[in-house]
Amino acid sequence: MIDKSTYRDAMAGLGAAVSVITSEGKAGLAGCTVSAVCSVTDDPPTLLVCINRASKNNSVIRENGNLCVNVLAGDQSHIAMQFASKNVSMESRFASATWERLETGAPALVGGVAALDCQVMSTNEVGTHTVFYCEIKAILNMAGREGLMYFGRDFHRLPPAAQTVPA
């Protein structure tokens, strides 16, 4: 059996984009930092998000039925830290940035790399986490922004992607 420490050490070598997951609705406001986001399919546009079942955000997102994947830009690691801290109130977390609403009502970060506004379609429980399968209902894209990756237990800035010119 593989112990948690060995597993976590191996996962530190798997770089991932840093995102803040937000939700708002009848259960209230939620927001947390995650690196476990993955595209599932582009027809219909669907992604998955993994959130620990012990997190208060998990039950709020489940009840609200919506979430927004806010992909952070290179200069937004402070936002990731705000939303990752258990000692920072939800109000203070959201006060650290500017937000707008797209289709579902979940807060969409202004100035990030992208905001993927989603409706939760289904969930699956795996170990300590819930896997949320989400259909994307609206997208806010910010071309030309640096990316923010988490690798080796630290944040790293990536240069903006090269812009392609249509032929």
Q: What is the DSSP string of 78-124?
A: HHHHHHH-TTS-HHHHHHTS-EEE-SS--EEETTSSEEEEEEEEEEE
pTM of the predicted structure, to 2 decimals: 0.93
- How confident is the model at residue 123, as a pLDDT? 97
- How confident is the model at residue 166, as a pLDDT? 66
CATH fold label, 18-140 = Pnp Oxidase; Chain A (2.30.110)
- How confident is the model at residue 165, as a pLDDT? 61
pLDDT tens-digit map of 40-59: 999 999 999 999 999 999 99
- How confident is the model at residue 160, as a pLDDT? 86
pLDDT tens for the chain, 167 residues long, are 999 899 888 888 888 999 999 999 999 999 999 999 999 999 999 999 999 999 999 999 999 999 999 999 999 999 999 999 999 999 999 998 999 999 999 999 999 999 999 999 999 999 999 999 999 999 999 988 999 999 999 999 999 877 666 66
**Of the candidates 39, 100, 45, 35, which has an alpha carbon nearest to the alpha carbon of residue 72?**
35
